[in-house]
Amino acid sequence: MSQCVCLPKCIFFNDKMADMPVTAERVKSHYCLGNNAECARFMVFNALGRELVPPDLFPQNIERAKVLITAAGK
């Protein structure tokens, strides 16, 4: 898999995970360098656009992503 297009500007990793480098690398390895289709942040980005990805949305929070996408009518 290739790197997720969102990674360079992902505020989750660049802001929220800055103080947890070991955890951040594990999560990045799975979601950003693995199958980004499993990432809740990427799901919202893909369906609604970058501006509607909540800053506090964790990559594993698929259910919340589905609710956000459904609420937006997508």
Q: How far apart are CA 6 and CA 19, in angstroms?
A: 20
Residue 37 structural domain: 7-71
Q: What is the pLDDT of residues 11-44, one digit of tens each?
A: 887 666 777 778 888 888 888 888 888 999 999 9
Please indicate, yes or no, if residue 1 is contained in any of the structural domains: no
User: pLDDT averaged over the chain?
Assistant: 87
Cα 59 to the center of its chain, rounded Å: 4
Least Cα distance to 53 among 22, 20, 7, 3 occurs for 7
Least Cα distance to 11 among 62, 58, 47, 67 occurs for 58
Sign of CA dihedral 61, 63, 66, 71: negative
Instruction: Please state the pTM of the whole predicted model.
Output: 0.84
Please indicate, yes or no, if residue 54 is contained in any of the structural domains: yes
Please indicate, yes or no, if residue 2 is contained in any of the structural domains: no
